[in-house]
Amino acid sequence: MLLLQKPSEIISNSKLKNINPQKAKKILIIFYAFLFMAILYHLIFARRIIPGVRVAGVRVGGMEFSQAKKTLEKNLDGIDGDLKMIFEDKEFLIRKEDIGLSYDWENSVVSAFEVGRSGNFFVDTKDKFIGLFGSLNIPASYDFDADSLGMKLSIIKSEINIEPLQSGIELMDGELEIIKPYSGQKVTDEKLYEKVIYSFDNMDFSEKEIPVRVIEPEIFEKDMEMFTSVVEDIISENLTLNFDKKEWVLGSEEILNLIGFKKDGKRVSIVLDEFSFDNLSDEIGIEINEFPRGQVVSTNGNKVTEFRIVGEGKELDVEKFKKDITDSIFNDRKPVSLTLNQVTDANDKDKYGIVELLGEGTSHFKGSIPSRIHNLTLAAENTSGVLVPPGAIYSMNDSVGPIDYLHGFQSAYIIKGGRTVLGEGGGVCQTSTTLFRAVLNSGLPILARYPHAYRVGYYEQDMPVGFDAAVFQPSWDFKFKNDTNAYVLVQTSANLEENSLTFSLYGTSDGRTVEISDPVITGQIPPPAPLYEDDPELPKGVVRQVDYPAWGTTSSFTRTVKMGDKVLFTDTYTSKYQPWRAIYKVGTKEE
């Protein structure tokens, strides 16, 4: 072997024999020196990280596993881990707790040990050489919740991003004026993300400047000068939209909102504003669209075993509406007739996704007068079977329809003007209350809910105070949104023997779960002293109670909707009930 041979033997048996003996000895000595250093290097660093290696800027080269891990942990102890992002006078803090940022020091040290030990001779030799005379920095190993970070970055962008304002034409004090344009700004998404990841990789939590670029407008004041007279002519007449017996009249301001401008190359043209038209068609659609109706016929536990379509759905023909209103605005100025398209296919039941129970709500009405029972069951029948499309908003008032004598509702007690009096539709709030409970349990977002003015005994027969929802047309409504990917079926059932009403919501579960806290009851106030009022219609000596006392209080509970361990949203429902006095009618009529 080479190492066991004498130097003279090596020289005589190699190409070195043709070189000056003194020079050959020096070469051989250098060779042995390098060989010795290489052996010594590998012996010293056999269980250590090679020299020059840093993890996130922290020197760990030459350290054993446990020492390197402790060094990294100690280094993080002096860092709060919160990243401040700044732009001009705006500051945004990305807290490690908010995004679940956590460093894995064992994996970091493992990665450090792999430097110089990849198995590639040339790469390993290069890394070892660089490590001896410089440094080799590798990123730390860590984990974070990508959705939470994405939400944080979205907030940053929403606060900073400004769309450029294109020049246009507006109505000011009855006169048309040209709008002065201005530049916008936009966060550079990729660079922002790169800065955040660089900070995590290197545990560098110093302030970072948010990368923002300027966006210039495309349409300027000079482009608008030729359109002023055209727009003035367009808005000079009202525009009428009609459907069945409904009519919408658009004045000059509304018509002007529907006018936009588009630049194609150097040419600017006048067009229908897509955003304003979409808003208008959505508003009209809410008024005239008809949800399809369905019915769950049978179930097995929470699973639907038979479902059928019992009523067709119709919705605004948006494409035709768009064409007609464009022609009317820019050409013939004729009234626009709205049409609905049928959207229900009774033979395609599977497309609705009514496969399981999402949630139920129940209330009891023991002690109700017959007219109240009639009204609450009629309202429940009117809303039963409504199929709410994905992304659509359900309105209790729209589903129930007009609450008056003409539509079958009777006189029963309602709250009006600070008194409990007989009125059309008394008892309908039992229906909205029951639906409120079903939507709560289903985990669907609630967009509108109003508590009653005072505590109503019916709603506390089976639930704590605070789980009620009042409706009063046209202002007070109960609304929820279907934020699932399938239709939601609203189905009701009344049990007159048990004096109960149940709302069941069916659809396709996306795995969300619901947690509802116990209500916190505060600020209890006793009812005021009874009020005695003379009544000339009652015989003298007769006293009749027409209103009943109730304690005032505040009830507050929280609903948390989760998907696994992730919280989708949390909402709190606070109800303030005023104290209610007993009222007696005292007869004054002489016999």
Supply the pLDDT for residue 1: 47
Q: Which two tokens stand for residue 407?
A: 């539509």
Pairing between strand 500-507 and 356-364? Answer: antiparallel
Supply the pLDDT for residue 345: 62
Instruction: Please give the residue that has the higher pLDDT: either 495 or 25.
Output: 495
Q: Which two tokens stand for residue 512?
A: 């969300």
| Ordered DSSP codes for 418-471 | TEEEEEETTTHHHHHHHHHHHHHHHTPPEEE-B--SS--GGGGSSS-TT---B-
Least confident range from 295-299, 311-315, 362-366, 528-532: namely 311-315
Instruction: Please give the residue that has the higher pLDDT: either 22 or 190.
Output: 190
Q: Give the model's confidence band at 33: pLDDT under 50 very low, under 70 low, under 90 confident, else very high.
A: low
Q: Give the model's confidence band at 385: pLDDT under 50 very low, under 70 low, under 90 confident, else very high.
A: very high
pLDDT above 60 (res 454):
yes
pLDDT mean over 141-157: 91
pLDDT above 60 (res 414):
no
pLDDT mean over 76-102: 87
For tokens 């079926």, what's the residue?
489
pLDDT digits (tens, 9 = 90+) for 395-405: 998 888 887 77
pLDDT digits (tens, 9 = 90+) for 475-508: 789 999 999 999 999 999 999 999 999 999 999 9
Q: Give the model's confidence band at 301: pLDDT under 50 very low, under 70 low, under 90 confident, else very high.
A: very high
d(C-alpha 281, C-alpha 286), whole Å? 9
Q: Would you give the DSSP letter of residue 291?
A: -
Please give the model's pTM, rounded to 2 decimal places.
0.56
Supply the pLDDT for residue 407: 74
Q: Would you give the DSSP letter of residue 549?
A: -
d(C-alpha 532, C-alpha 229), whole Å? 70
Supply the pLDDT for residue 285: 83
Stated length of the chain: 591
pLDDT mean over 528-542: 86
d(C-alpha 498, C-alpha 79), whole Å? 64
Q: Which structural domains are found in the chain, ordered by start?
A: 2-80+94-143 (no CATH), 222-349 (3.10.20.800), 353-589 (no CATH)
